[in-house]
Amino acid sequence: MIDIYTAATPNGHKITIALEELQLPYQVHHIHLFDKQQKTPEFLALNPNGKIPVIVDHDNRDQVVFESGAILLYLANKTGKLMPTDPDRYWQAMQWLMFQIGGIGPMMGQANVFYRYFEEKIPAAIDRYQHEVRRLFSVLDGRLERREYLADEYSMADIANWSWVRIHNWSGVSTDGLPHLQRWLAQLAQRPACQVGITIPENEITSDNPADELIKDLRAMVVK
């Protein structure tokens, strides 16, 4: 049994999608970010960085793993699935997994902050991060022009990137004019594991309206 400490964020959804794909038994512990449960001593004992997600694998001596990319690779290594066995394809998948961790995630995260969470808008910051996100989307579109998945077979790289790119509207970035990226987004959205994984745990953000009370909570978290 795997315990997962998580919240309804793209990084959290990476892991619930992977667990669903791998059909591994797991128990969800919803970390309520607005209540700062990720900063409690109990949680910090699992991840000193105070971020979700974290897993505890009780089938492997209660192994604790934090950082979403590390968890994806841990699960792939544990099962021998969702990372290619062919060396060339393995490193293709690894590169595109790192592309999400080092590019898509941080840039979309910054776009989200400046576009959604600050009441006082900073146009230069919004433009900078939205343009960079769009550029990265174009890179993905080019990669997907002649292949079904990022590493020619479905892998952790697809799970990681899709979990973020699917919320592009939240960053205020369009996928118009990127047909291969749009095809890939729609294709993965049909996978049962993706459909289930993005519903776990329940979403604390229930509105796309920036005036929503939850967005005010998020703003407060950002500026503290």
Q: Which domains does the chain have, with CATH numbers?
A: 2-81+197-208 (3.40.30.10), 87-189 (1.20.1050.10)
In tens digits, the chain (224 residues) has pLDDT values of 999 999 999 999 999 999 999 999 999 999 999 999 999 999 999 999 999 999 999 999 999 999 999 999 999 999 999 999 999 999 999 999 999 999 999 999 999 999 998 888 999 999 999 999 999 999 999 999 999 999 999 999 999 999 999 999 999 999 999 999 999 999 999 999 999 999 999 886 544 444 444 444 444 444 44
Is 56 within 8 Å of 63 (Cβ atoms)?
A: yes
Beta bridge partner(s), residue 24: none
With a CB cutoff of 8 Å and minimum separation 6, the contacts of 172 are 111, 115, 116, 126, 130
φ/ψ of residue 59, rounded to 5: -85, -5
